[in-house]
Structure 1
Amino acid sequence: MERDDFFKALRESLVDSRTRFYRNLVFIEKKDYLDELRAVLSIYKDVVGGSRTAYAFHPWATGSKERLSNLRDLLGKFDDIDYSSSEYYLGKTYDLVVLDLVDNFQPNYIGRLVDLTSGGGLIVMYTDNLTENKIFRNSIARNGVVYNFYEERFRRKLKEHQGIFSIDTEYHVNRFVGEVKPTTEKKPLKSMFFPKELHDLCLTDEQDRVLEEFRILQRGGKRMLVITAPRGRGKSAVTGLGIAALIADSTRERVRVVITAPSLASASQIMEFAKRGLDVLKVPNEVEMSDLGIIRAVRGDHFSVVFVSPETAIGEDGDFLVVDEAAAIGINFLAQYANRWRKVVFVSTVYGYEGSGKAFLRYLRSVLEEKKAWTRWLTMSKPLRYAEGDPVEMWLYDALLLNPEPIRTGSLDSVEFLTLDKEKLFTDDNQLAQVYGILVIAHYRNNPDDLMIMGDGPHHILKGIRTEGGFISVTQISEEGNLPDSMIDLALKGGTFDGDLIPDRLLKHARIREIGKLKGWRIVRIATLPELQDKGFGSQLLRMVIEDAETQGIDWVGSSFMGDRKVLKFWVRNGFTPVHVSPKRNEKFGDFPVVVVKPISQISRKIMGIASHVFKEKLLNTIHDVYFNMTPEVAAILLEGSRAHSEIKLNKIHLAKIVAFLQGTSPYESSADGIHVLTLKYFWDGNRDWKLDEDLEKVLLAKVLQGMPWSYLNTVIGKGRTSSTEAIHEAVQILAKKYYNLDEESDIGISLDSLDDEFTTR
């Protein structure tokens, strides 16, 4: 197409989009991009005039500010967005969004910022070349090599979808000729419980409906409200209005609402609309702002709405807890919220740039069912920023694979194990959606960057089990180790580097230099179709991977993940040994990152055996300090998974105190030292072929080793002081009998002479 025809078509599409409320996108990949970029912006300015504009870039990159300066006369008044701070703009809406991709091409940022554009608006992305000298792409490289499978597919998707205009060596036009659902006025509610002033702030019938559902939180008992939607559906806004409604309608002397989210920026829309709702109801209030100008708290004479971090929210007191972007918070935190709070609102994006989807809903549903909490599930689907059927949204979901759906399988009579050809995979949309869909649907923590890493990383391998109907189980593997001496020295001195996660962690914590020389496979993800989970296919795939690793001279197979109870059990059950747990709990997810390893070569078995012993020693010696807030269930699985053994000896005074405790003549506090050593003996016993009941292990870990106050045990393990003491008594009774054949009838007579062989005095 000729240049003049291209810009004529763009002008006509911009006019049409403003009538039908859809968006257009221009992509420029050309060495001399500036003239084309200025021409696009000039046409937009001519058609639209003044507009809400955002310009995103890396301001610290060489030349980036100069590029922006060349466009200021065409941008007018605009928000300049540093990509690394782009989450702070998620609640805003723009007519024109310009993305500078010269220094970096990163899917996360594209997914996040394209969604900020309103109907009738334009997204412009420009770069000199999509694959050369890009920050994120360079971080994926291994030994200077990086593929471009992701970028080639991205370019192809730009040509396939309507509403997209692209410029490279030629001019490509694909005007939107499809249908959109016209925006319709809200239908008036036949009846409403909450004030009309709040409903007037709702833009859609869906928001009206969701707002009314907040009344269920005023009823007695434990009640949960779950609101999910793709990005841009108004769920955070209506949640803020719901908070205002609950406050205004409350008959209590004081109402306290606690809001938590991965960051204050994530909760900004809830805070903003809570205040807006209180204002229209004429409820006097004052706000507390953060340094970045985001509302941190809203307070009045009889209420407060405050933001706290996900970890802090567990121990907070209040009437209502609101969890925004719940899919980005660890299940461990969500479970504790459901256990600790009586009224909780979970709000989360499904699909969108987080890519969470059905997996998150499945995890959350299982948590709430386990807590036996009455729950109302609400979904929202109608976009607010643009019309239904918007072509840019269709392109975005396809290009970034935000909602991949794996194909349901047929017969399972014959299966084959294979390594996938990534080049072919990224040219076959059906197979890619199936493979990536299995990984996404089984893991709720996903983001668009994952797909690019999987495709472009030369050290990332895909293996799977396939039937006649398609793949049923898939794993993504990262090749690690075989490090040069310089990188080993760097790790031992505290330095960090991209990739090689497991060697890096073990070098720092086990301090054995040879670890860096071993060649390993780290399982980044392993997943099975949901309907076939818990049927052994994941374990079967893992066994096949290990057999494959043996034939290829790999020293170890391992994995690193957040220490979720269910996931950890899977790895331990399959013979993997815990060798490292981060000394810091992940503040965002609420779990401790864990490393597990299955050694293959002889030298690896020796090294990992030492690493396992070092790990177990650290965990047991510091569980009252470094790991004091580790979930006892997780600690129990970690200790069970490490078969490292050490003889722990109790002296006669310890044994006498234990017998006195069993007899009831000595309270727990008086016998705690003896019980502590007996508990250590149990967990250090790597030779036993028996184990205590899980509930007994949990109380021993929580009280005896972690030293939790009696009052805290109810929150952590669901047992009060009386039931916890009874459980400790039962556990001590079993251990004393197993190890020393002692019970409450035993008589340990102690004299000075009988202690000569155990104690020496000066």
Structure 2
Amino acid sequence: MTLSSLAADLRAEAARANERRALVLTGDADATRAAAVDAIEAAGLPIPDCTAVSAAEDWPFEHVGPRKSRELLGRTQQAVVLDGHDECSPNAIGRTVGAVDGGGLYILLAPDLDSWAERHDAFDETLAVPPFGVDDVTGQFRRRLVATLREHPGIAICDVDENYDGPEENAVEIQDDGLTDPWPARPREPPEPPEGASFPDDIYRACETADQADAVRELEALGNTAAESAPAVIVEADRGRGKSSAAGLAAGALAREGRDVLVTAPDRRGTYELFARARERLEAADALAGAGENRIAADSGGCVRFARPPEAADLPDDPDAVVVDEAAALPVSLLERFLDGPPVAFCTTVHGYEGAGRSFDVRFRSSLADSEREVIDIRLDEPIRYAAGDPVESWAFRALLLDARPPVDQLVADATPETVEYEELTPERLLADEHLLREAFGLLVLAHYRTEPDDLVRLLDAPNLTCRALLHEGRVVSIALLAREGGLCEATRERVYRGERVRGNMLPDVFTSQLRDQDGGEPVGYRVMRIATHHAVRSGGLGSRLLGEVEAEFRASEGRDADLRGEQVAHAGRQGAGERVDYLGVGYGATPELLDFWAGNGYRTVHLSTTKNDASGEHSALMVRPLTDTGADLAGRHATWFRERATGVITGPLAGVDPDVVRRALRAVDDEAVPAEAGLSERDWRVVVDAANGMGSYHAAPAAFTELALRELILGEADLDAEAERLLVEKVLQNREWEAVADDLDHVSTRMTMRAFGDACEPLVEAYGTAAAKAHRGYWE
């Protein structure tokens, strides 16, 4: 069998079954690239429907660079060539494998498979964060990837000689032909318009499957503005099932009716299919009035428009309906904001590159249950681009762990802090136990709203990462992914101070470049990148138990060598055995609940970012838990600097932040950051005492009130209730108008709010006032 005949047979078999086949060409880079072109021609695949993702540019058809594989999301091609010689990331595999249509070929180019794991490429360089080098990056992921390629059906593997000179020559050795002799695909019957549907028949005739037609039928609820409570439609599917297209068909139908449909997604490019289907239906009905990059208008006055998630959550211009595409890739706190608006559809990928739906399913559904929304569920199972059971899809799921899940609830429901064991999950152990790997990665997927396939490589290969877990009867119930940071040499710290970014060192980077601490990258810290507890046993103390075990383990390092750097650290192991660890840290999108959790585990606020995260709309909190005197010095000075700049940033860029976030962030500041004395003048104290007795004004001495508000929000010695603290935040620190404060606090009048402000001042005088201040209270008796 020659490469030509093999390619033709693979294509014929794929077409007969409406499946895809994979062809792996290994060997010299130039030779495999030439062989890929020949294989496509021999298979009779149309050149305009082929794309290469490659660092090389000499291709006879469309090609994009390795870092631009995202451009294939939402597209369908007859063949995709992924060139893994210069760079091969799991994200690129996840993006490209779904772009191949039924009857097509997915062609992977790679070095010799036996030695691929020992080679280093451009993707490995992204994992080599200082002080580690690329030689410290392991090849565990590629070793596992090669094993899956050799084990899965439907994958042909050919070794290409470096002197390759054509598909008919003997320069290709076929290791596995990948042929499966499948049954022919059954013809797909086009769906009929359902009875009683309100959308026009042409909308349903544009559907590819019965599943998709059912989804569009349920999405008609987005036009039901007469319902007592606005419905929420949940559309779940694996990638390639047509959920975004279904949403686009529904959006186009609503726009034809004159409805304003607001669409949002983590990435505008990911809504390509949705907007394409909406425009297609408007054009088909001669109803298209105009189309721009982010807006399609209908002649009825309706439209389909896009807004980024944080802005869309504010429901700009009062849309009639909202579609949130790839909802699983957005934080739950942001999704919850859409529940206060018009009818909304949440479309989410269950397993796939775009994000894992498990977190959405577990966490967001509880919010839906607590809302007054009518919830309509629809799931699409039938693939559109290829037949069910496609072997290339099965391979991608396993290779990238797209369907990884935590243990089933019943196996861990009895887990408590007393029944679990604390363990390090090394890459070697994870790779030796596929069930453990799937459980660990599945739980990490829950820890973050946008876990990507690249994160699997980081777990297995990144030299700066290490993993700790709690196991209940051998099952993973809580897990933490830790990133070593800091310990940077003087030259690197100087470059960062001058503005150069340093990969994989989030806290030292912020300390040094943003907060202007020249020594901020010197102490060694471990940042908790991800932490998750199984949903069946959440709120049972397991997360705190895990953090406590991590602290105890790394606190024991206090007597170790603090001067290990670079190769010494790598030689000591991924977790830097023998290296002293000065602090534990964390950075996350700040919410009151998370601030309370981390503060309850001894972490102290050192920074609150002044800009919002693009996807979540939240400000990031940085917190530190010192383990050594060096770590305490770092945390102490940054806590002091945070308190000193708090007035300026809370009045400025943080003026619109949730007061409860400000309250919790300040309460988590180390008490030692507060001076022993308030430092108010005698006149300042008179103004405060007079305000407590209904006279005078906050504006008579704003700096004095600001100092007392900060003092109380950090120390809490006046024991104010939550509403009084919010009042201090909004009026004193955020400098909002009295009317706005009264409205936020649901007070009946500004006069009531001013009276409440005076009531809050009285305990401040009692807790922090000088003898003269307390004596002045007698004036009002």
Please indicate, yes or no, whether the TM-score normalized by the shorter chain is above 0.5. Answer: yes
One-letter code aligned to 1:380? L
How far apart are the structure 1 equivalents of 2:681 and 2:593?
38
Q: Quote the residue 1:106 is aligned against.
A: 89
How far apart are the structure 2 equivalents of 1:530 and 1:181?
40
Q: Quote the residue 2:281 is aligned against.
A: 277
Q: Residue 584 of structure 1: which of 592, 607, 611 is its match?
A: 611
How far apart are the structure 2 equivalents of 1:561 and 1:179?
50
SS at match of 1:515: coil
How far apart are the structure 2 equivalents of 1:128 and 1:393?
23
Q: Out of 413-422 and 642-651, give the one that drifted further.
A: 642-651
SS at match of 1:583: strand
Q: Quote the residue 1:504 is aligned against.
A: 509
Alignment length (residue pairs)? 716
Q: 8 Å contact 2:25–2:36 — kept in the other structure? A: no
Q: C-alpha offsets along residues 254-292 of structure 1, whole Å, 9 cap, x if unaligned?
A: x43322222321222222222222223332421124xxx
Structure 1 residues 660 and 735 mapped into 2: Cα distance closer, same or farther (>3 Å)? closer
Q: 8 Å contact 1:207–1:234 — kept in the other structure? A: yes
SS at match of 1:584: strand
How far apart are the structure 2 equivalents of 1:380 and 1:210?
8
Q: Out of 179-188 and 451-460, give the one that drifted further.
A: 179-188
Alpha-carbon deviation of 1:463? Answer: 1.5
Structure 1 residues 406 and 49 mapped into 2: Cα distance closer, same or farther (>3 Å)? closer
Q: 8 Å contact 1:153–1:427 — kept in the other structure? A: no
In the alignment, structure 1 residue 736 sits paired with structure 2 residue 740: no
Give 1:128-527 correspondences, 5 Å limit.
128=111, 130-131=116-117, 132-141=119-128, 142-143=132-133, 144-168=135-159, 171-177=175-181, 182=186, 184-188=188-192, 189-217=194-222, 218-220=224-226, 221-250=229-258, 255-289=259-293, 296-300=295-299, 302-315=301-314, 316-318=316-318, 319-339=320-340, 341-369=341-369, 371-408=371-408, 409=411, 412=415, 414-527=419-532
Q: C-alpha offsets along residues 177-235 of structure 1, whole Å, 9 cap, x if unaligned?
A: 56797453144323322110111111111222222223323233433333222222111
Structure 1 residues 89 and 723 mapped into 2: Cα distance closer, same or farther (>3 Å)? farther
Q: C-alpha offsets along residues 92-118 of structure 1, whole Å, 9 cap, x if unaligned?
A: 111111112222111111101111111
In the alignment, structure 1 residue 701 sits paired with structure 2 residue 729: yes
One-letter code aligned to 1:136? F
Q: 8 Å contact 1:54–1:81 — kept in the other structure? A: no
SS at match of 1:478: strand
Give 5+ residue unaligned stretches, structure 1.
73-77, 290-294, 751-762
Q: 8 Å contact 1:355–1:448 — kept in the other structure? A: no
Q: 8 Å contact 1:353–1:448 — kept in the other structure? A: yes
SS at match of 1:321: strand
One-letter code aligned to 1:328? A
Alpha-carbon deviation of 1:147? Answer: 0.6
Q: 8 Å contact 2:20–2:103 — kept in the other structure? A: yes
One-letter code aligned to 2:264? T
Q: 8 Å contact 2:233–2:377 — kept in the other structure? A: yes
Alpha-carbon deviation of 1:748? Answer: 8.2
How far apart are the structure 1 equivalents of 2:443 and 2:327?
21
How far apart are the structure 2 equivalents of 1:450 and 1:724?
51
Alpha-carbon deviation of 1:352? Answer: 0.5
How far apart are the structure 2 equivalents of 1:711 and 1:270?
43
Structure 1 residues 397 and 313 mapped into 2: Cα distance closer, same or farther (>3 Å)? same
Q: Out of 409-418 and 92-101, give the one that drifted further.
A: 409-418
SS at match of 2:748: helix
One-letter code aligned to 2:399? A
Give 1:3-42 correspondences, 5 Å limit.
4=1, 8-31=5-28, 33-42=29-38
Superposition RMSD on alpha carbons, in Å?
3.1
Q: Out of 347-356 and 730-739, give the one that drifted further.
A: 730-739
One-letter code aligned to 2:127? I
Q: Quote the residue 1:681 is aligned against.
A: 708
Return the TM-score normalized by structure 2.
0.84
Alpha-carbon deviation of 1:135? Answer: 1.3
How far apart are the structure 1 equivalents of 2:64 and 2:295?
21
Give 5+ residue unaligned stretches, structure 2.
161-172, 558-579
How far apart are the structure 2 equivalents of 1:269 and 1:579?
43
Alpha-carbon deviation of 1:34? Answer: 4.0
One-letter code aligned to 1:502? L
How far apart are the structure 2 equivalents of 1:394 and 1:256?
39
Q: 8 Å contact 1:649–1:681 — kept in the other structure? A: no
Q: 8 Å contact 1:356–1:443 — kept in the other structure? A: no
One-letter code aligned to 1:558? G
Residue identity over aligned pairs, in percent, reads 26
Q: C-alpha offsets along residues 700-739 of structure 1, whole Å, 9 cap, x if unaligned?
A: 434442245678779xx96556378746643541342342
Q: 8 Å contact 1:229–1:381 — kept in the other structure? A: yes
Alpha-carbon deviation of 1:405? Answer: 1.7
Q: Quote the residue 2:44 is aligned against.
A: 48
One-letter code aligned to 1:326? A
Structure 1 residues 748 and 96 mapped into 2: Cα distance closer, same or farther (>3 Å)? farther
Return the TM-score normalized by structure 1.
0.86
Q: Out of 602-611 and 412-421, give the one that drifted further.
A: 412-421
Structure 1 residues 34 and 724 mapped into 2: Cα distance closer, same or farther (>3 Å)? farther
Q: 8 Å contact 1:578–1:594 — kept in the other structure? A: yes
How far apart are the structure 2 equivalents of 1:724 and 1:25?
69
Structure 1 residues 687 and 719 mapped into 2: Cα distance closer, same or farther (>3 Å)? closer
One-letter code aligned to 1:474? I
Q: Out of 427-436 and 622-631, give the one that drifted further.
A: 622-631
Structure 1 residues 703 and 608 mapped into 2: Cα distance closer, same or farther (>3 Å)? same
Structure 1 residues 381 and 636 mapped into 2: Cα distance closer, same or farther (>3 Å)? farther
Alpha-carbon deviation of 1:474? Answer: 1.6
One-letter code aligned to 1:619? A
How far apart are the structure 2 equivalents of 1:421 and 1:19?
44
Alpha-carbon deviation of 1:299? Answer: 4.7
How far apart are the structure 2 equivalents of 1:373 and 1:696?
33
Q: 8 Å contact 1:198–1:280 — kept in the other structure? A: no
Alpha-carbon deviation of 1:574? Answer: 0.5
Q: 8 Å contact 1:162–1:177 — kept in the other structure? A: no
How far apart are the structure 2 equivalents of 1:619 and 1:369?
38
Q: Quote the residue 1:566 is aligned against.
A: 593
SS at match of 2:402: coil
How far apart are the structure 2 equivalents of 1:604 and 1:249?
62
Q: Quote the residue 1:292 is aligned against.
A: none
How far apart are the structure 2 equivalents of 1:710 and 1:279?
52
Q: 8 Å contact 2:16–2:184 — kept in the other structure? A: no
Alpha-carbon deviation of 1:505? Answer: 1.4
Alpha-carbon deviation of 1:649? Answer: 5.3
SS at match of 1:353: coil
SS at match of 1:465: strand
Q: 8 Å contact 1:357–1:403 — kept in the other structure? A: no
Q: Residue 118 of structure 1: which of 101, 107, 110 is its match?
A: 101
Structure 1 residues 749 and 735 mapped into 2: Cα distance closer, same or farther (>3 Å)? closer
One-letter code aligned to 1:579? V
Structure 1 residues 436 and 494 mapped into 2: Cα distance closer, same or farther (>3 Å)? same
SS at match of 2:74: coil
Q: Quote the residue 2:80 is aligned against.
A: 97
One-letter code aligned to 2:661? V
Structure 1 residues 527 and 440 mapped into 2: Cα distance closer, same or farther (>3 Å)? same
How far apart are the structure 1 equivalents of 2:191 and 2:20?
26
Q: C-alpha offsets along residues 32-79 of structure 1, whole Å, 9 cap, x if unaligned?
A: x44455445434433334255343435xx5xx124x3xxx1xxxxx43
Structure 1 residues 564 and 139 mapped into 2: Cα distance closer, same or farther (>3 Å)? same
One-letter code aligned to 2:151? E
Structure 1 residues 517 and 37 mapped into 2: Cα distance closer, same or farther (>3 Å)? closer
